[in-house]
Each structure stands twice: as structure tokens, then as C-alpha cells.
Structure 1
């Protein structure tokens, strides 16, 4: 089974031989690939919505994989018991939602040795949460699919050491390894800050002026990082 570029990049981070839980599986494309490629011995695939899970069930049954892919309906990690999965994949979900999913089930996380995440937004907030909750970011990658940039963040239990929270927000491993799409990514972040600054610059009250001051300072720091990455 072929995969979209983003899903193929996620699959590349799945260690061979373990049990994977794909949270928010949608049509189960990733679980099917992991089994058919011989990467995983079993995948637990869950989704909050009945519709996508019905589609996933049909796809799994058509490929005769019901004994290898366990489909479950439910919210986040509520479908998992402690020790059931060693690897969690959380893709196509907002970064703050991923934080909430992980924080809600610490008993499940105890047996997990790798998190493979693709936050659709708020990736910086997610990284900060990971660093503050015993997870080290071991790898990151940017994927350009149909003109949209996706971030992949991979973490394992450990201590994330950092001197500057800005680098944690932007992606410490992206910066360290000079991801091929890093300059495009940083350019888009700079554009976002410039638009936000323009939106508050006309404010006359003290709160607006203070917000503009903070945004301008952050913008300058991101520009400095971008210059060093050229």
C-alpha cells in the first residue's frame, strides 16, 4: 500500500517489531502500511469519530488484517490500557490537543518508549510541554506536501536540555540538523509575526502597545535565528 509523503515520513520513525497505537487513525492507511510492510507486529488504531472508523474497518477487512489491526472507537488514549502499546502515533491533531491527550493518561504513557507526532498547529506549545514532562525530542522533520508544511516531532523518555525556550518553540532538532525546508519554515513564521504585529500596531491603549512590544521583540529574535541558519 502506497502512502502520502507525510504518512510515509511518520512510518519511517516507527521501530520494527513493536506494538503501535495510531491515535486518530482516520482511514487506517498508516496501520495497514505498517503491517503489510512488516514493520509492526500489531497496531491498535483508534478514532473518536464513528464515520472514519467505519471506513477504516472496511479497509482492514478488505486486506484481511483484522487479526493484526485492532480497531477501537474512543477519545485519545482512553481506548488504551497500560502496557498495550510501546509506540504512539498522533498525527493530524493540534499540538495543544496532543498535550491534553497525553496528559490525560499518565498510566498509559509509562510503558510508551516513543511518541511520533505531527501537530497541525501549536507545535511550539507541544514541544515545551514535552520538555517539561520528561520527554526528549530525538528527531524532527519538515515535510512539504501539496504546498503545505508539516512538522514531525519524535520524542522518547528523557531530559530535554535547552538554554533558550525560543529554540524549543521553533524546533531544536530542525535547527541543529538544518532541515532542508528550515528557511521556508522560518520565513513563514516571520510572516505570521509580521501580520500579527501589523494587526496590533495601531492600538492606542497600554495593553495593545505592550503586546506590540512583545511581538516586535519576538520577531527580531526569530529573524536572528533565521540569519544564523542561512
Structure 2
């Protein structure tokens, strides 16, 4: 989200977001969170952007103000965020560049209308569902920039199964949370993978980079999985418990090998 400026007692006539040379309604610069700034860094210059689940439309506003996007579409399914997005676009003086639309996922788009799609801040299963449900709307899209809060492996699997090649990944930490950003383009979907099973889970680029944040994330996951395995062992030997236990033990093995 955008960085707040001022306290709760700030007069309503003053803009409450930190901008450069701020006077409400003008096209000023926003300071995004580190997470959304990372997403924005992958938007090709001059792109026609569709931001799905846009919340307050911070990302499209930032992209248009910085010239990353030539124009944008901000999509929201919920009434509250939809109205907030409309207000933010209006206050930013960007109504001529950003269309705010209400609808589920990619249903707000016509085929070929956008060439870059961002979906940030959702679970991986939901992102994969949105892409799957709106496959016909991906005609003409050159780049997907996806930031799953959890379940990134489900997004990688969807991209692999539908001919989208991962071209970049980033991992970052902000306010104690760790986020992954996946960037994909049409191409050879298997190209980035050397060890498919491990890299669908870990990310092919992230696994090779093996950064401190990457290692921190997966050490946390191993600890969590081992606790679950111990709980499953203590609760008995049902078929479902055994299946889950084997699945987690395999994940622990893959991650421990990557962290060696």
C-alpha cells in the first residue's frame, strides 16, 4: 500500500498520501510499498496494463504516473475497493488514462485489450483460477506479473501447463513478510526448469540465486512442515494422514537439498 503521511488529526483538505509536489487531483508520484514497487518494476514501458484485484488502484496510478504504462485498467470484484479505486484515480488526475471496472477476474477485459496483466496479493490457487477462467482474455497479452502471497508453486504449475515461460522471479521481505514475484511471457514453458519437481516448489530462478531471504523463507517452511509431520504421526495412521505426511516429507527433502 501507499505510505501514509500525517496523523489521524490531519485536515481532510490535505492529501494523506506521500507524493512529490502534492496537490490533490494532480498527476503526482506515489511511493508504493516495496512489494508493489517490485511488481511495477517489471511492467514494460508503454504497456497497456490490466491490474486485477487492484484494491485502491495504487499500482495502475503509479505505473501511469511513472510512464511504465501508457494506460491501464483497474479491476475489482468488491464494491468497497471498487469505489476506493475510482476515487483514487480521480484524485490522481488519471481518469483519462485509467479505466476502473467492477467484475470477477479477467471478465472485465475484452480479448486483446491489455498486453500486460498484474495480479498481486492473492493466494496462488486463486491466481491460477483467475487465469484459467479467463484464458480467452489472454489473447494479445505479452507479459504476466504475478505476486502470490502463498502457493506460488500452483501458479508455476499453471504457467507450465498453459505455455507461459517464467522469465524472472524475485523474492523480497517487507514488514516481516516474505513475498515472491513471478514474471512470465509466452514461450517455452519448460525452458527455465532443470529440476522440475523442486523448482516448481522453490522457483527455478530463486533456487539458483539462493538468496538470504530465500533461505529464510524455506527454513521457516521446513520447521512448520516438521511440526505438522509430528502432529500427523501422533494422531494415528489414517490413509489421508499418511498421504499428507509423505507429501510433506518429500517437500522437506527437496528443500533441504536446495539449502545445502
Q: Same fold (TM over 0.5)?
A: yes
Q: Aligned residue for 1:117?
A: 146
By how many angstroms is 1:167 displaced? 1.4
**CA deviation string 1:34-69 (max 9, x = no partner):** 111111110100100111111111111112110000
Q: Distance in 2 between matches of 1:152 and 1:43?
A: 20
C-alpha contact 1:27 1:53 (8 A) present in aligned 2:
yes
**Displacement of 1:206 after TM fit?**
4.7
The aligned counterpart of 2:255 is: 222
Distance 1:97 1:211 in 2: 22
Post-superposition offset of 1:180: 4.2
TM (normalized to structure 2)?
0.83
What is the CA distance between 1:176 and its match in structure 2?
1.9
Partner of residue 3, structure 1: 32
Per mean C-alpha deviation after superposition, the further-off stretch among 199-208 and 135-144 is: 199-208
Gaps in structure 1 of 5+ consecutive residues: none
Once the two structures are overlaid, the 10-residue window that deviates more, 38-47 or 56-65, is 56-65
TM-score between both structures, scaled by the size of structure 1: 0.94
Length, aligned pairs only: 227
Q: Distance in 2 between matches of 1:30 and 1:217?
A: 38
**In the alignment, structure 1 residue 76 sits paired with structure 2 residue 108:** no
Give the alignment's Cα RMSD to 1 decimal: 1.4
Residue 165 of structure 1 aligns with which residue? 197
Per-residue deviation, 1:76: 0.2
Which residue in 2 is equivalent to 1:20?
49
Q: 1:103 is paired with a residue of what secondary structure?
A: helix
Counterparts of 2:230 and 2:150, CA distance in 1? 21
Deviation at 1:113, TM superposition (A): 0.7
Alpha-carbon spacing, 1:202–1:65, altered in 2? closer, same or farther (3 Å):
same
Indicate if the aligned counterparts of 1:203 and 1:209 stay in contact, CA closer than 8 A: no
**Number of the residue aligned with 2:6:** none
Contact 1:5 1:145 in 2 (8 A): yes
Does the residue aligned with 1:202 lie in a helix, a strand or coil? helix
Between Structure 1 and Structure 2, whose CA radius of gyration is higher? 2
Aligned to 1:199: 231
Q: Deviations over 1:202-224 (max 9, x none)?
A: 13325234533442233122111
* Correspondence list, 1:152-191, <5 A: 152-161=181-190, 162=193, 163-191=195-223
